Amino acid sequence: MSAIVLRGREPWLRGLSLLGFLVVWQLAAMAVNKPLLPAPTVVLSSLWNDLTEGSLLYHLGITLARVAVSFLIAMALGTALGIVMGRYRDVDAALDSLLVLALNIPALVTIILCYIWFGLTETAAVTAVALNKIPTVIVTVREGARAVDRQLMEVAGVYRVSMRRTFFQVYLPQLYPYLMAAARSGLALIWKIVLVVELLGRSNGVGFQLGTFFQFFDITGILAYTLAFAAVVLVVEATLMRPLERRLTRWRP
């Protein structure tokens, strides 16, 4: 019963915390009263202008596309490698120190090297983002692959379940919690890195726009883009990640 009540309240609580944030921001802006911290009303009207007359949608779209492509590449390669490393001790031993190295290389280094080696191209940009994310996906998925229940795999073996069905219905579901965790933290990381990549080597996208605003000291513009960006993240979380997670874990009591 209490769970049902809470579920009804949840959207309100989420909305309320956002509203509280806006109020604090407005009060702070009124207190400071300088162009360094524009009030949310100013930022919102600038956001509206960028949306209707400016090129915000175009840049946001470009950035979203880069996020989506590099996210999918990173998840696919990271999952495959994570499974192999979790399953085969020898492969794990061989690749583990490389993995630790990859985990600790600063994102900026990967980005700069990719641009130098592959030129200031779209491929270089997406590769740089994916390379930054793959190691963390590997680490998470490897943990899941190590925890796979051998008893359930034996069931599939005895009953002669085909390889394909064994993978999708017996093996992969055991990795879902790990994949969800990797996807969540992955999106958060990729949003951030994509902007840096755009700032350094692309001539469009949110990161590029923020760079331009920075040069003109256009704080209102920066905040307007940030706001638009935050809204997209929240929408993705609410319409993709949470429903997906609910669907994948609906069997839990």
Partner 1 sequence: MKNRLEVNIRRKIFPGADVVVVEEFMLTASAGEFVAIVGPSGAGKSTLLNIVAGLDREMDGDVQIDGQPLHVDGLITVRIGFVFQEPRLMPWLTVMDNLMLVLDKSTDSVERIRQLLREVGLADVEQSFPNQLSGGMQRRVSLARAFAMRPELLLMDEPFLSLDAPTAARLRQLLLTLWGELHPTVLFVTHHLREALALADRVLFLSSSPARVVLEVPVQLPRPRELRDTGIGELHDHLLAQYPELLSGLVEEEKQSASDISDSDNRLASR
Residues engaged in binding partner 1 (CB under 8 A): 151-152, 154-161, 165, 169-170, 173, 176, 248, 250-253
CA angle 197, 203, 207 (to 5 degrees): 45
Shortest distance, position 5 Cβ to partner 1, whole Å: 22
Q: What is the rounded distance in angstroms from the CA atom of residue 225 to the CA atom of residue 207?
A: 9
Nearest to 187 by CA among 75, 82, 77, 57: 75
Residues 6+ apart with CB under 8 A from 141: 78, 79, 81, 82, 83, 86, 175, 178, 179, 182
Dihedral sign computed on CA atoms, order 212, 19, 187, 239: negative
Give the position of tokens 């429903």. Answer: 243
The minimum distance between CB 121 and partner 1, in angstroms, equals 42
| Beta carbon of residue 249, minimum distance to partner 1 (angstroms, whole number) | 8
Q: How far is the CB of 197 from partner 1 (least distance, A)?
A: 37
Output 84 or 248, the one with its CB closest to partner 1: 248
Nearer to partner 1, 25 or 176 (CB): 176
Q: Which is nearer to partner 1, 161 or 219 (CB)?
A: 161
